[in-house]
Amino acid sequence: MTDRYCVIGSDVSRSPSPAMMNAAYKALRIDAEYAGVSVSEPRFPREFRRLAASGFKGMNVTIPFKTAVIPLLDGLDAVATRIQAVNTVKAEEDGRYFGHNTDPDGIVDPLRALTESLEVRNAMLVGAGGAARAFCEAMNRMGCVDLAVAVRDVDRAREFVRGMEGAFPRMNLTLASMEDLRHLGHDLVFNASPMGAGGEPLPKEIKRVLPGTKIVFDAVYRPRETRLLAEAKRIGAATIHGEEMLLHQGMAAFRLWTGKEPPEKVMRKALVGSLLGGLRAKRGRAKR
């Protein structure tokens, strides 16, 4: 019987995850299929329970359900418990569904691919959502000491900062408004917000604090070359594209679900092909 997996979010119609994961199953001759499931926020609990009742072996959870899924699960692993966010759900043999979070792997693995001896002592995080929680876990693993959190709405982000301070007491978090950024020369700047996904100009506040930064990592994967990454290249910083996070979190989920080593080259080729295919389709529509 074919094992079924999916990614569930408010709109995953353009997600490259099905192409990436199905290519991996095919390469390893695993009888499985992976689909996208788009659902509105009011219908999410019912849809999740329906998928679980129909025997799905695993799910990836994306915006805006990484926290909303928690009450629907039978338990969480240590990482998901710490950061209170889930991006991967696994069905256990007894039928219970447990939440995991592979997003930190999607951040740490590309960073370590730059150099095994990489040290991140201070970083700036843009955003305070689910990906931001994963970034805090990743920075804790890498020994980060000082983390500045840059947001538009400081009041809304206070709860996020309090939660992360409790989860990672050895890390000093500083909350700052985007309009009041003053720190320069970070080891790493990470964008965990939708900034740049619509191709809009880079906020001048971010542009001002980039000089001296060693690495800029953008979680946004469409467009591939965001304004943030273009500016980072211009000032000579190393850059990591959002597709790297998507690839490595997907590889970690594949490993969790199947117990097998994921075929990285196959998954990368399918991922890039899906992203380029979507770009070509968009250009084609624009010409009509």
Taking alpha carbons only, the member of 130, 248, 245, 237 closest to residue 188 is 237
Catalytic residue among 66, 207, 214, 233: 66
Q: Are 65 and 9 in contact (CB under 8 A)?
A: yes
Taking alpha carbons only, the member of 270, 271, 220, 216 closest to residue 242 is 220
Q: Which residues pair with 60 in a beta bridge?
A: 7, 88
Tokens of residue 141, six digits: 């693993």
Cα separation, 211 vs 218, in Å, equals 16
Q: Give me the torsion for CA of 83, 85, 88, 93, rounded to 10°.
A: 80
Sign of the C-alpha dihedral computed for residues 18, 19, 22 and 24 taken in this order: negative
Q: Which residues pair with 218 in a beta bridge?
A: 191
SS3 call for 77: coil
Decide: residue 3, CB within 10 A, 0-12 exposed, 13-18 middle, 19+ buried.
Answer: middle
Q: HSE-up of 76 (CA within 13 Å, CB side)?
A: 18
Q: HSE-up of 117 (CA within 13 Å, CB side)?
A: 0
Cα separation, 160 vs 129, in Å, equals 8
Q: Which residues pair with 34 in a beta bridge?
A: 5
Known catalytic membership, residue 204: no
Active-site positions read 66
